[in-house]
Structure 1
Amino acid sequence: MAKIENIHDSFFKKVFSDIANVRTFLEIALPAELRRQLDLSSLELDATSYVSEEYKASLSDVVVKCAARDKQKPVDVYLLFEHKSYPDKKIFIQLLRYMYLMWQQDSAEVKPLRAIIPLVFYHGKGNWKIPTQFAEQFEVGKELRRFLLNFEYLLFDANQWDWQAEASLPLKENVFLLSALLLMKGAYRKDLETIRQVVRLWNKMGLIEKKDQVNFLLIYIAETQDIPAKQLLKILEESELKGEDIMPTLAQRWKQEGIEEGIKKGIEQGIEQGIEKGIEKGFILDKQDVLIMLLLTRFGLEEEEKAVIRSIESVDKLNTALKMVLTAETGTEIIDYLNSESA
């Protein structure tokens, strides 16, 4: 399997592949007047079978459909989600391509063209300054502009989102989605306070019992925040959580195996060199432990599969395997990757 190139895209798609998460998100993201016109209880994920081989690499992140509330003109409305972690001036062309492919399928099947509402989810470093109407891309006067193709996308800017505002109240019933949105909001800055808030939410709302979801969120934290494992463990302990039950830590490994082994060898080869080697060994053992724990939680593991993981001493390969846990359908995919000769 190819390496995961973008942790943010993978995280977003995994979170929004759950229709309950999509429904809760739309309750806070859609303008009130639009929300009143849609029956979100009828929401379902679209299979996106209309996408050709040519465009699979640039497939929109999520497509859902729901019924409009207009009883006189019953129709399905499609919502097209596009995730962005940086301001992308090509957004209009990308959205237009996706909508064209959907309409192309409608035309081929001799169906009325579907109603499509694009929604851009943004959580990057800079401000999103791109206009929301396509016609604004053209430097022409009003008289000419009215003849041009135009559409508008909805923008959810996580940087401007206030999770404690009254409009965000529906998220209180979905602490996993709330945690995911907060972590994406803070993904591009070292935001220890947000992580503390998220961990406190896990404890308060009972998510800590759902270790599969907690481990998934912890992987994202580890991949996007430059936080040492010991500091993350401290945050977990501050919230009265047993960090060792959630994730093996570097600190524990250094004490139990890494530094002990390093000091022992250091007596023979030099204290400084021995401790350095012990820490390196402890780092690898920690990666192996976390991978074993996550695979056990998600898929289960045979003893021989554990042995495969223990045989891997490449940090890069272990890191890639940890990322693959986000999107893998089976544990076998990850074990096969570890058994391969790929770096």
Structure 2
Amino acid sequence: MDDHDTSYRLLFSHAEMVRDLLTGFVPESWIAELDLNSLEKMNGSYVSDDLRSRHNDAIWRVRWGQEWIYIYLLLEFQSTVDRFMPVRILTYTGLLYQDLVRRQELDNSRELPPVLPIVLYNGAARWRAPTRVSGLIQPGPEALAEFQPDQALLLIDEGAFDMDELAPLSNLVAALFRLEHHRSLAEVPDILALLIDWLSEPGQEDLRRDYVEWLRRRLRRWAPDVNLPEIHDLQETYNMVRDTVQEWKDQHHQTGLQQGLEQGMEQGSTNEARAILRRQLMRRFGDVPAEVDARLGRATRTELEGWIDRPYEVDTLEDVFRPS
């Protein structure tokens, strides 16, 4: 079990996270009919009849409608694309049903409950693999079609969302996605400030602690060259990241920017100025869009000089080019 799986399990062991996942990222109208106050975490370890132990990431159930039907939510966390994920989900669903039958936990109707399998994927590449079992089965005689399994899964591909569109949402899972896919470390303090505000109520201590544990593991990857102190709460994490970002800004201005200006501008090199600005934009905002790169290619030396100080003074890439 890797750090990604472990830390996500910690976060989604809280009803608040599952609630915000359902309300913010499951595009179905029936979600509004759920009694989200009834969310209940279930046992996720099963042993099949051949005694091979299986374990899925998280199972919750929630009541729906007047009949108190239980809908089981199977959450599976992925950081890599798995072509055969629908087969895993089919297996987990079968084991869940088998366990409910064995434990005699069905209601008086003796019918199996419906299942919503959710795969939460946070990898860098977009998911292109099948999301239902039928997409993995070879064509055969038409008469066999009715005998083939065809369970689907709901894929939530975090990186496919526009992070700017998630920013206005008051949603714990949206904040998680924005942190996971931030474009620069400079974006992180503002998101942490939101979490500090949202998780300030009594009774949320465990979720705050698990968010800190997730951040502790992720910060090692986000800032591998920084000697990170031990962190114990969200406020400490916010202070540490804010101070680290400021140190990077100061160091950048004292070394990279000044050296670049002296070496590039004094030589009168427009190309050097363009290269310096492009590097600053990439470090601050991530990949430079083609239209911005084309604008840099057309810019005069005077324009480049006017923009070159701005990447660490503004909040968005667009603001770099706005008139003063």
Q: How far off is 1:95 after superposition? A: 1.1
1:130 maps to what in 2? 129
* Structure 2 residue runs without a partner (length 5+): 230-237, 249-324
CA contact (8 A) 1:135 1:149 kept: yes
Aligned partners of 1:128, 1:76: CA distance in 2, in Å? Answer: 30
CA contact (8 A) 1:7 1:223 kept: no
Secondary structure, aligned partner of 1:150: coil
TM-score normalised according to structure 1 size:
0.56
Aligned partners of 1:244, 1:124: CA distance in 2, in Å? Answer: 23
Q: Cα RMSD (Å) of the superposition?
A: 3.7
Tell me whether 1:82 sits opposite 2:76 in the alignment: yes
CA contact (8 A) 1:43 1:64 kept: yes
Identity of aligned residues (%): 22
Q: How far off is 1:50 after superposition? A: 4.1
2:292 maps to what in 1? none
Q: How far off is 1:163 after superposition? A: 3.9
Secondary structure, aligned partner of 2:135: helix
Q: How far off is 1:206 after superposition? A: 3.4
Aligned partners of 1:64, 1:79: CA distance in 2, in Å? Answer: 5
Sort the Cα spacing of 1:214 and 1:108 in 2 relative to 1 into closer, same or farther, 3 A: closer
2:186 maps to what in 1? 196
Aligned partners of 1:150, 1:214: CA distance in 2, in Å? Answer: 36
2:302 maps to what in 1? none
Deviations along 1:75-116, one digit per CA (max 9) or x if unpaired, are 101010011111112212211221111111233245332221
Deviations along 1:259-285, one digit per CA (max 9) or x if unpaired, are xxxxxxxxxxxxxxxxxxxxxxxxxxx
Sort the Cα spacing of 1:67 and 1:218 in 2 relative to 1 into closer, same or farther, 3 A: closer
* Structure 1 residue runs without a partner (length 5+): 233-240, 252-343
Secondary structure, aligned partner of 2:170: helix
Aligned partners of 1:150, 1:159: CA distance in 2, in Å? Answer: 27
Aligned partners of 1:131, 1:30: CA distance in 2, in Å? Answer: 19
Tell me whether 1:243 sits opposite 2:237 in the alignment: no
Aligned partners of 1:54, 1:184: CA distance in 2, in Å? Answer: 37
Match for 2:187: what amino acid?
Q
Tell me whether 1:172 sits opposite 2:170 in the alignment: yes
CA contact (8 A) 1:179 1:198 kept: no
Match for 1:197: what amino acid?
E
**Pairing partner for 1:225 from 218, 222, 227:** 222
Sort the Cα spacing of 1:44 and 1:246 in 2 relative to 1 into closer, same or farther, 3 A: farther
Aligned partners of 1:197, 1:54: CA distance in 2, in Å? Answer: 48
Alignment of 1:256-335 (within 5 A): none
Aligned partners of 2:84, 2:155: CA distance in 1, in Å? Answer: 15
2:43 maps to what in 1? 47
Higher helix share: 1
Deviations along 1:268-305, one digit per CA (max 9) or x if unpaired, are xxxxxxxxxxxxxxxxxxxxxxxxxxxxxxxxxxxxxx
2:299 maps to what in 1? none
The number of equivalent residue pairs is 225
Answer with 40-49 or 12-21: which moved more. Answer: 40-49
2:119 maps to what in 1? 120
1:152 maps to what in 2? 152
Sort the Cα spacing of 1:55 and 1:185 in 2 relative to 1 into closer, same or farther, 3 A: farther
Match for 2:196: what amino acid?
G
Deviations along 1:33-84, one digit per CA (max 9) or x if unpaired, are 241343323211112354469554x411110101122x3x541010100111
TM-score normalised according to structure 2 size:
0.58
Sort the Cα spacing of 1:109 and 1:10 in 2 relative to 1 into closer, same or farther, 3 A: closer
